[in-house]
Chains A and B, each alone.
Chain A
Amino acid sequence: MKVVLRNPRREVEVAGNRRVKEVLRDLDILPETVLVIRGDDLVTADQVVSDGDTIELRPVMSGGAP
């Protein structure tokens, strides 16, 4: 399964056919810090992603000057 990461943009291959929360745990990413995007949809942490899927983990943090 392909995972697209941002800032900087890059792609990694991880094992699929498991729940999103397990993928996030393997990548050491807190679920509350990203949107999990598959195509035009958001994916919740309990959903299973398959080996053929591409998901984007889009960070939600912004920051700098208040």
Chain B
Amino acid sequence: MKCRKCGGAAAIELRRHNAAFCVADFLEFFRNQVREAIRRHRMFARDEPVLVAVSGGKDSLALWDVLIEDGYRTTGLYLDLGIFDYSVESKARCEAFAEARGVPLLVRRVADEVGAPVPVIKQVTRRPPCSGCGLSKRYLLNRVALDEGLPVVATGHNLDDEAATLFGSVMHWQTDALPRQSPALPSTHPKLVRRVKPLYRLSERETAAYAFLRKIDYIVEECPFAKGATSIAHKLILDRMEDASPGAKHNFLFGFLEKARPAFERAEAVALNECARCGQVTTGTLCAFCKLADQVKRSV
């Protein structure tokens, strides 16, 4: 197999692009896809500071690596979920990454903020662990960015993540979730920072290959709570479709973004309030995060 650009020996085949690349040309292809995402959706300006949410996994560390290499001013944020050895090891990966590159890394513990780590939140709420975990992440990413004066949060969501989320929303016709699915969500309130996904054009395999070829020491092991997660089930279905028809995930997601998403956008904006307790943005009186913290406090 030959590299499409230089004709040298290929290191990776990208069936959905009907192409193969050598190491150097693949790394450049990858960076160009990130640059295109940032440019197309005006995710952030060259001189804007960016908070990068890092988990120790391949996607977020690959994203951080590209942004650092391209000269962006970045600060990493690691949320310690308190998930046994998995959190210990993933935090160590983030700290080693940041130290080797001389970039700042913030660490916040979910247990300090909510009152208990994710495994206890799971028991208290009797809901899937990803529920309390996702809620805590979304809340804390925004609040830490605000506290630090950073206008935008970048996450490592890739094409597979986005296609699986879209698949789940469509399967349940969650029409309120569909307009929120976007590579770039603008700030709609002074206390909401922008949220962007610069890897949305790149597949999971491409981000894994980038991380491997850049010798990024990422955590390969899955989160112990991910087993049985609905998002994983959806990814497995989409993997079968991709195998039968390369480009299926890309067509599904990009077709939605270009053709269908506008049809689901609401004519009237949802009224946003500030939480009576913490001051963060909510549609009710008390935000979901404070309600969760209350529930944990009552039970622990």
Contact = CB atoms under 8 A, between A and B. Distances in A.
Interface of A: 6-7, 30-35, 37, 41-42, 44-47, 58-66
B133 A35 contact: no
Contacts of B161: 62-63, 66
Contact of B11 (A31, A34, A41): A41
B209 A42 contact: yes
A62 to B, nearest CB: 5
A7 B1 contact: no
B115 to A, nearest CB: 18
A32 B250 CA distance: 14
Contacts of B160: 61
Interface string B120-139: 00000000011101100100
Interface of B: 1, 10-13, 15, 20, 23, 57-59, 129-131, 133-134, 137, 157, 160-161, 164-165, 203-205, 207-209, 212-213, 220-223, 225-226, 229, 231-232, 235, 239-240, 242-243, 246
A24 to B, nearest CB: 11
Contact of A33 (B10, B57, B212, B239): B239
B137, B164, B204, most chain A CB atoms within 10 A: B204
Contacts of B11: 41-42, 44
Give the dominant DSSP class at B's interface: helix
Contact of B12 (A44, A58, A62, A66): A44
A45 to B, nearest CB: 6
A33 B235 CA distance: 10
A34 to B, nearest CB: 8
Contacts of B164: 63
Given A30-B240, A42-B12, A63 B235 contact: yes
B243 A30 contact: yes
Given A35-B208, A62-B222, 16 more contacts: A30-B242, A32-B242, A32-B243, A35-B212, A41-B11, A44-B13, A46-B1, A59-B220, A61-B239, A62-B59, A62-B204, A64-B223, A64-B232, A65-B137, A66-B130, A66-B231
